[in-house]
Amino acid sequence: MSKIAFVFPGQGSQTVGMGKDLYDNYEIAKKIYAQADEIMGLPLSTISFEGPVELLTQTHITQPALFVHSYILTQLIGDKLTANSTAGHSLGEYSANVYAQSINFEEGLRLVKRRGELMKESGVIRPGTMAAVIGLNEEQIDLVCKEAREHQIVQPANYNAPGQVVISGDVEAVRRAMAIAKAEPYNSKMVKELQVSGAFHSELMVTSSEELRVAIFETPFKDALIPVYSNAEAEPFQMKSAIMNSLFRQLMSSVKWMQLITNMINDLNVKRFYEIGSGKVLTGLIKRINPEVELYNIGTIDDIKNLSVE
């Protein structure tokens, strides 16, 4: 039987209405949402189901909402399908660790809540932005960022797929990099500034990262039951110390998604990837990284009912 990996989405995959079908049809979903609302101290379930979108897309709301939705899905498919390894994109690495049982749901949600708050605050303390750059390779991206810095910060934040990189840093430096990428000799196919509240996965996250480290190391972790691939290293970790350090480093480090997926395929012979959560961002990226693997999405009640484990 082919090896299976679960991958969990991060910020940007949220949609108003996510989880409502699960809440309406499964008692366990109702219980988990009630628990989440209590931990969050706000109606996370209502915001997930009804919006408004302006509230759901705020970092400190988006992250817990996606995390809770993905967790409920894992509980609903647990008797049908299990994974041999797991990973998540940015926030999704927390979902992956809950699935691998290195941390429980309640503690995971508290950490995600704190992470979202810190990331929101960081954008106020030192405003930053991010931009997607399409059509350039890693070496070209490095050169563009180096040329654009001018004593500010701009760096690769997400290596998402071949020719698809996100950069992050000070607003002026990122916009200089965007202009450089579009011009000769790089001629990027597309450059687009993202609607984010800060320069995530960059050195601008240093203060938030240190505060998150305190929260992580106050949280009871265990060794993971299955390999969890790290965003920062693109390598599998199971020891709790390595997992904790990975989550701390992640906020300032590039998300090495392309290398991570390649390593999962090469190291473990993963043939089937299931994206557990809202949207189809990760399966889209994985298809570009390796079109030979099988890709599935589990985000709705229909996906659960149609689940094939053959």
Q: Where in the sequence numbering do the catalytic residues fall? A: 90, 201
Cβ-defined contacts of 75-81 (< 8 Å, 24+): 75/28, 75/32, 76/22, 76/26, 76/28, 76/29, 76/304, 77/276, 77/298, 77/304, 77/307, 80/304, 80/307, 80/309, 81/4, 81/274, 81/307, 81/309
Question: Exposed/middle/buried for 231, CB within 10 Å: 0-12, 13-18, 19+?
Answer: buried
**For residues 206 and 121, is the Cβ–Cβ distance under 8 A?**
no
CA 155/CA 168 separation, integer angstroms: 6
Helices and strands per DSSP (H, E), number in the chain: 14, 10
CA 158/CA 166 separation, integer angstroms: 5
CA 183/CA 137 separation, integer angstroms: 15
Q: Helix H segments across the chain?
A: 20-25, 27-40, 44-50, 53-56, 59-77, 92-99, 105-125, 138-148, 171-182, 206-217, 240-250, 257-268, 281-289, 301-305
CA 177/CA 186 separation, integer angstroms: 11
Tokens matching residue 304: 């659960």
CA 67/CA 16 separation, integer angstroms: 14
CA 290/CA 286 separation, integer angstroms: 6
